[in-house]
Amino acid sequence: MRIVRALIAFAVAACSLIASPVLAQTDGASGSGEVVELLRESSNLQKLIERSLEVPGDDWRRHIDVERDRLTNLLRSRGYLDGQLEVRYAPADAAGAQSLTMRVEQGDLYRIAAVEIAGGEIGGPAVDRIIADAIGNVASTANAATIASKLTWELGEQGRPSARLIDSTFAPNGKRGQAILKLELSVPEQSRFSGIEIEGSGAELLAKIEALQPFAKGQLYSNSRMARFRDAVARLPGTGSARIDAEPQPDGTFRVHVRRVAQPAGSGLDALLGAILLVATLLVVAQRRVILTAIGSGTGFRLNAASIAVAGLLLVSAVLVFGRVLTFLSGSA
């Protein structure tokens, strides 16, 4: 079996007054290859050693072991399923320096030889094509996530709106460098359209959204149809940040639920509020001498026209701001 080894060495000096290690120097990794470079760039060993200086008596070796496990998982997530990292501590020398060496055995790069799916009966040409395309790819967690995402999307195309991934693992199949991707999926029964519910919209906007609704009564759910519907509603003026969900019903059907569609992107009230706040700010700046003089003398404000205007505009602004906050909170509920 081909094994690529790399040694990553760190030298630390033991302080006679505290139990924490003191960084002396850091040597580069010996060896070559993409894996060694990946581990060097991802390693936090240097920072862990430096941080241990700030915690007298801290068990710094425990932190190193945690980092070793993290890097091992990173190595395996890239398809090196047999990857191992070993940390070795050399005795302190006469000068009190102690060396730390991490040994990397990456092993073979595994590739997907088969895909096993548990959780329900699925099939069809599209599913077969996804599985066929997966064969030969690197057995990495990123590829596993991509394959699972394609499968759950296809299950949605087959009428299962809540299909999802539960777990994914790799297992060697007995042949060198080959692995089985095992996926556990939640595969619900097929669901058909029973109606649409729209909250927070006027009659005109309601009619436009209903006209865009892509499902006929009794039609199977489809991810692509729902995606097109969301895009179409988002382009309607006045829909704001509408949320659209396919909600399962007790009888096994689903309803399309549209929420918070009556939030204009920029209303006339917002424009009025901005103008009032601007005018009030300008008047406050213009009357700053009068205000500061009144505050400093303790005689109170002079009730001239400008002062009354400032007070009135600030009061109206406060009322409008309070109203907008209530509207936002009620819409978020």
pLDDT tens digit sequence for 212-250 = 999 999 999 999 999 999 999 988 887 667 889 999 999
Which of 197, 191, 186, 189 has the alpha carbon at shortest distance from 222? 191
Q: What are the DSSP calls for 172-190, one per residue?
A: E-SSTTEEEEEEEEE-PPP
Q: Which residues pair with 179 in a beta bridge?
A: 112, 172
User: pLDDT tens digits, residue range 131-142?
Assistant: 999 999 999 999
Reply yes or no on whether the pLDDT at 33 is more than 90: no
Q: What is the Cα–Cα distance from 113 to 178, expressed in whole angstroms?
A: 6
Q: Is the same domain home to 56 and 90?
A: yes
- Band (pLDDT 50/70/90 cuts) for residue 18 is very low
Q: Residue 126, SS3?
A: helix
Q: Give pLDDT, residue 101.
A: 76
Q: How many CA atoms lie within 13 A of 97 on its CB side?
A: 9
Q: Is the same domain home to 20 and 57?
A: yes
What number is the average pLDDT over the span 185-196? Answer: 94
Tokens 């009068």, residue? 290
Sheet with 5-14, edge to edge strand ranges: 21-26, 5-14, 97-105, 84-89
Q: Give pLDDT, residue 274.
A: 64
User: pLDDT tens digits, residue range 250-260?
Assistant: 999 999 999 86
Q: Is the same domain home to 170 and 211?
A: no
- Band (pLDDT 50/70/90 cuts) for residue 311 is low
Q: Which domain holds residue 161?
A: 111-186
Torsion angle of alpha carbons 106, 108, 113, 119, nearest 10°?
-20
Q: What is the Cα–Cα distance from 24 to 21, expressed in whole angstroms?
A: 9
Domain boundary among 136, 166, 186: 186
Q: Is the same domain home to 85 and 122?
A: no
From the centroid of its chain, how far is CA 119?
26
User: pLDDT tens digits, residue range 40-66?
Assistant: 778 777 677 666 555 555 567 777 888
State pTM to two decimals: 0.65
Domain boundary among 57, 84, 105: 105
- Band (pLDDT 50/70/90 cuts) for residue 191 is very high
Q: Is the same domain home to 98 and 15?
A: yes
Q: Is the same domain home to 236 and 315?
A: no
User: pLDDT tens digits, residue range 72-81?
Assistant: 999 999 999 9
Domain count, the chain: 4
Reply yes or no on whether the pLDDT at 154 is more than 50: yes
- Band (pLDDT 50/70/90 cuts) for residue 89 is confident
Angle between helices 45-52 and 60-77 (to 10 degrees): 170
Q: What is the Cα–Cα distance from 59 to 26, expressed in whole angstroms?
A: 20
Q: Is the same domain home to 118 and 162?
A: yes
Q: Is the same domain home to 296 and 227?
A: no
Q: Is the same domain home to 180 and 233?
A: no
Which of 228, 236, 170 has the alpha carbon at shortest distance from 209? 236
Q: Is the same domain home to 128 and 170?
A: yes
- Band (pLDDT 50/70/90 cuts) for residue 34 is confident
CB–CB of 258/199 below 8 Å?
Answer: yes
Across 12-21, 99-108, 150-159, which has the greatest mean pLDDT?
150-159
Reply yes or no on whether the pLDDT at 324 is more than 90: no
Reply yes or no on whether the pLDDT at 297 is more than 60: no
Residues 6+ apart with CB under 8 A from 230: 244
In the DSSP assignment, the letter for residue 20 is: S
Q: What is the Cα–Cα distance from 196 to 315, expressed in whole angstroms?
A: 43
Give whole-number Cα distances, 105 to 4, 124, 223, in Å. Answer: 6, 41, 44
Across 25-29, 170-174, 280-284, which has the greatest mean pLDDT?
170-174
Least confident window among 57-71, 101-115, 176-190:
57-71
- Tokens found for residue 324: 């907008």
Q: Is the same domain home to 135 and 218?
A: no
Phi, psi of 7, rounded to the nearest 5 degrees: -115, 120
Residue predicted with more confidence, 300 or 35: 35
Q: What mean pLDDT value characterizes the chain?
A: 76
Q: How many CA atoms lie within 13 A of 96 on its CB side?
A: 12
Least confident window among 79-83, 124-128, 303-307:
303-307
CATH (domain of 215) = 3.10.20.310
- Tokens found for residue 66: 């945690």
Q: Is the same domain home to 11 and 94?
A: yes
Domain boundary among 204, 225, 259: 259
